[in-house]
A = this chain, B = another copy of it.
Amino acid sequence: GFARVDVGREARQGLPEVVYGPGKTAEQVKAIVAGLLAHNTGPVMVTRVAPEAAGEILTGSPGGTYDPEARLLLWRPAAIGSFKVMVVAAGTSDRPVAAEAATVCAAVGLDTTAVHDVGVAGIERVLQVRERLQAADAVIVVAGMEGALASVVGGMVRSPVVAVPTSVGYGASLEGVTALLAMHASCAAGVTVVNIDSGFGAAIAVHRIAQAWGGRR
């Protein structure tokens, strides 16, 4: 066939391979989803799906849902467990990336909450959610422009912080590269970073954290 789906991934890593939507026809996605539903037992997801394509794919594999803000297709979500993750986003334009992070987190069974529009230029907005951030088992920080929210949150909580730079902004933002570099240069120790706009990557990183500990208890 046109693809060699990694069906062993669920056994190896605890989650079926997630399908990356762009560059695939609706036909191809339908076939891959059908294969994953048949050969794996956990949640099946397709990321970055346009609304037009979503409808057609869903008809091929009933039982799925589509989240238009996150642009995510989902079948067989996991039951929500006890691991609490909080997604915090700096600006309203960062919402789609934050939505992808939150939707994938929930799909893999994390107890997920989200808060938006918490830019550091209004530091009160960050202080208002400080207790909620400190109560989470992990935090995902979504921020474009200069990405400063990762440093501020990273210095406030003791739990793991995964930062997602976004391509939001213009000019010196360099389509997310500035935020990515700034998050790496962060003065807050132990903050880790994933690719630009990769809400998906951050969610899987937190899934690894939740799962690893779950496995050894």
Interface residues of A (CB under 8 A from B): 2-6, 8-9, 12-14, 18, 20, 22-24, 28, 90-93, 95, 116-127, 137-138, 144-148, 150-152, 154-162, 165, 167-174, 176-198, 200-201, 203-209, 211-213, 215-217
CB–CB A123/B152 < 8 A: yes
* B-side contacts of A170, CB under 8 Å: 195-198
CB–CB A120/B148 < 8 A: yes
Q: How far is the CA of A91 from the CA of B23 in the complex (A)?
A: 11
Q: How far is the CA of A186 from the CA of B208 in the complex (A)?
A: 16
14 contacts between A and B (CB under 8 A): A5-B117, A119-B187, A121-B154, A121-B188, A145-B185, A146-B146, A147-B148, A158-B215, A160-B205, A171-B176, A172-B182, A174-B177, A191-B205, A192-B205
Number of identical monomers bound together in the oligomeric complex: 8
* B-side contacts of A23, CB under 8 Å: 92-93, 168
* B-side contacts of A161, CB under 8 Å: 208
CB–CB B198/A155 < 8 A: no
CB–CB A146/B217 < 8 A: no
* B-side contacts of A156, CB under 8 Å: 12, 123
Chain B residue, CB-CB nearest to A94: B23
Q: How far is the CA of A180 from the CA of B160 in the complex (A)?
A: 20
